[in-house]
Structure 1
Amino acid sequence: MTDSETEKLQLEHQAARLFLRAYERTYHTPMRHIWHNEPAKPDVSCYMDEERLDIEIAHLYANEHEAMAVLGRELGLDIQRQLAQLALNPSSEQLAFALGRLLSAKASKKYDSKRVWLLIRNASTLWQREDFIALLRTLQVPKTHQFEQIWLLSDWHGKEQPLLLYSGNSNPPRQKVP
């Protein structure tokens, strides 16, 4: 396994772990036993209330230069300047474009799964929870995709309550009183 494949698996596992903890905290539903899958299946699987759930994981960055910075890659001076300019002028259009591009890419894939959720982890320093909430009213989810639900961790550390971006269920989850 290459270093980049190992790094990708670690990021997916970390995102899944953070999401499961945040989901349990919010909805008081047990989420247990994360394991990684082969490429035809979603990235990870777990048990939700003893029922198997597959989760495809994506990390959201403003662009590939920001991804390089977040992942600790060496950046040239020109790229550093571009990122500084981007940070000074973040826009809702940039967020809508980046999120739309990610959703379209994931929607075009087919997964060998009966029940699959998409988890998006915000890896960008440009956008906060409030930015995503503001975008929810106008978010365009592709019409065809395989996801039962689409969730977002708006912060890197998973401390915020997960945001439900899409639910194909007529009864989306509601917070339960513990």
Structure 2
Amino acid sequence: MKSSIDEKIALEHQAAKLFMRLYQQKFGVKMQHIWHNEPAKPDVSCYLQQQRLDLEIAHLYGSEAEAMKILGRELKGGTLEALQSLDHWPVAERLLQALNRLISNKAQKSYDSEKVWLVIRNAHPDWQAQELEQTPHLLKIPLKHPFEQIWLVADMTGQAGLVPLYPLSTANEKKEQN
């Protein structure tokens, strides 16, 4: 059985490779050479058109209990109760809260890097691309954070594509260029 650190690194690499492929397809730019970093740096580094780019990778699960379920962990009393209590909250509200919490937590970090993007991969099977695409303008992005851009891979496999979260104007300008 893999250790949780090995599993985390494997998930980060999968997410980074998926993001790089989707970004290349969407914008027609080359991204290559992925490698893992030490904790003072963002999770993964690559090159975006021959310029170094560091990617901080995060997975959007919702809650800790949902993460355990999604990752196939054994679910016991308290975890099962936590999952059942979530049924009372609207899906869209929970999505927005989870994204805001994740971005807020990541925004508190500092990195030894000149150019960092946050890449979030949606791992929650109930949150679909349509809901995710309606979310960016509702997010509460902290005023101070280390990210030049924030992107959301809309599902675990990348079938639903990329959703730009920050800055919205840059992402919209890139859409218009294509």
The TM-score normalised by the length of structure 2 is 0.89
Deviation at 1:72, TM superposition (A): 1.3
CA contact (8 A) 2:32 2:47 kept: yes
Shift in alpha-carbon separation, 1:175–1:26, aligned structure 2, 3 A: farther
Indicate if the aligned counterparts of 1:111 and 1:146 stay in contact, CA closer than 8 A. Answer: yes
Cα distance in 2, alignment partners of residues 142 and 176 from structure 1: 28
| Greater helix proportion | 2
Q: For 2:57, give the aligned amino acid.
A: I
Contact 1:18 1:158 in 2 (8 A): yes
Q: Distance in 2 between matches of 1:126 and 1:34?
A: 30
Distance in 1, matches of 2:73 and 2:149, equals 33
Q: Is the 8 A contact 1:26 1:175 kept in 2?
A: no
Which amino acid is the alignment partner of residue 136 of structure 2?
Answer: L
- Whether the aligned pair in 2 keeps the contact of 1:62 and 1:126 (CA below 8 Å) is no
Residue 109 (structure 1) aligns with? 109
1:174 aligns with: 175
Q: Give matches, 1:126-165, under 5 Å.
A: 126-165=126-165
Work out the CA distance in 2 between the residues paired with 1:25 and 1:81.
Answer: 42
1:69 equivalent in structure 2: 69
Match of 2:118 in 1: 118
* In 2, Cα distance between equivalents of 1:8 and 1:156: 14
Q: 1:42 to 1:24 in 2, by over 3 A?
A: same
> Partner of 2:147: helix, strand, or coil?
coil
Counterpart secondary structure, 1:159:
coil
Partners of 2:66 and 2:88 in 1: CA distance = 14
Could you say what secondary structure the match of 1:12 adopts?
helix
Range 52-61 or range 69-78, more displaced:
69-78
On the 8 A contact 1:22/1:159 being kept in 2, the answer is no
In structure 1, the residue corresponding to 2:135 is in which secondary structure? helix
Residue 82 (structure 1) shift: 4.6
**Per-residue deviation, residues 109-137 of structure 1 (Å, max 9, x unmatched):** 00000000000010112211111122222
What is the DSSP-based 3-state SS (H/G/I as helix, E as strand, rest coil) of the residue aligned with 2:95? helix
Task: Give the unaligned 5+ runs of structure 1.
Answer: none
Listed as ranges, the gaps of 5+ residues in structure 2 are: none
Structure 1 stretches of 4+ moved >6 Å: none
Cα distance change, pair 169–42 in 1 and its aligned pair in 2 (3 A): farther
CA contact (8 A) 2:107 2:146 kept: yes
More displaced 10-residue stretch of structure 1: 120-129 or 6-15: 120-129
Q: Which has the higher contact order (CA 8 A, sep 6+)?
A: 1
User: RMSD of the alignment, in Å?
Assistant: 2.2
